[in-house]
Amino acid sequence: MKKPTPTNREELRTRIRAAGLRSTSARMAVLERLEAATNPLSHAELAEELVPHGLDRATVYRNLIDMAEVGLISRSELGDHVWRFEIRREGHKHQSEHPHFVCVTCGEVSCLPNVNVDISPSPGSKKSVIGELTEILFKGRCGRCV
């Protein structure tokens, strides 16, 4: 996990305030951890890291929900009934429509930022059968589990 720099902290604080939320120490801690993550994290994973630093599980959860509601982070459920959260990075289209990969053996979840899924109508079609994508999920075995 990368350590937040003072500039990065101020940028995160500004983003929280711009979203209409107060920049509390709990929100900063949650957002900083998501900023450092390389894959979506569950509430349990975040709480495991943040509770020893003085936050309680309920505070972590409330802040995740608050920040998801204002669009600072994305919340997705990848077929296992566990909500996972990831930061929406400025300047990137890091929304729910980007694909994820779930390893069916170890459960590891990864973003697939360089995978594009084209849902435009097929040649000869007037319109796509898909009206709106809400989630793209690939399942298989990761490189460690093959």
Query: How many whole angstroms separate alpha carbon 91 and alpha carbon 38?
Result: 17
Cα–Cα distances in angstroms (integers) from residue 79 to residues 19, 101, 109, 133, in the given order? 29, 11, 11, 15
Within 8 A by CB and 6+ apart from 78, the residues are: 40, 84, 100, 102, 109, 135, 137
Q: Has residue 133 got a pLDDT over 70?
A: no
Least confident range from 36-40, 116-120, 137-141: namely: 116-120
What is the per-residue pLDDT for 77? 82
| Backbone torsions φ then ψ of 130, nearest 5 degrees | -95, 120
| 95 contacts 86 by C-beta, under 8 angstroms | no
The rounded distance, in Å, linking the Cα atoms of 103 and 105 is 5
At residue 79 the predicted structure's pLDDT band, cuts being 50, 70 and 90, is: confident
Which H helix or E strand runs over 10?
helix 6-18
User: Which residue in 51, 87, 82 sits closest to 68, CA to CA?
Assistant: 87
> Strands 83-87 and 109-111, how do they pair?
unpaired
| Average per-residue pLDDT for the chain | 83
Predicted confidence (pLDDT) at residue 115 exceeds the cutoff of 80: no
